[in-house]
Amino acid sequence: MARPSKGLSTRAVHGGESRQKPFHAVTNPVVQTATYVFRDSQERIDYESAPEDREEYGRYGNPTMAVAERKIAELEGGEEAALFSSGMNAFTSVL
The residue extents of the domains of the chain are: 8-16+28-94
C-alpha to C-alpha distances, 6 to 12, 74, 81, nearest whole angstrom:
10, 10, 19
Give 81 or 55, the one with higher predicted confidence.
Answer: 81
State the pLDDT confidence band at 81, using cuts at 50, 70 and 90.
very high
Instruction: Based on DSSP, count helices (H) and strands (E) in the chain, helices before strands.
Output: 4, 0
Does residue 1 register a pLDDT over 60?
A: no
Give 15 or 70, the one with higher predicted confidence.
Answer: 70
Does residue 4 register a pLDDT over 60?
A: no
Q: How far apart are CA 38 and CA 92, in angstroms?
A: 33
The predicted-structure confidence for 32-71, as pLDDT tens digits, reads as follows 777 778 889 998 888 788 766 766 666 666 788 888 999 9
Displacement of CA 38 from its chain's centroid (Å): 20
Q: Which residues pair with 35 in a beta bridge?
A: 57
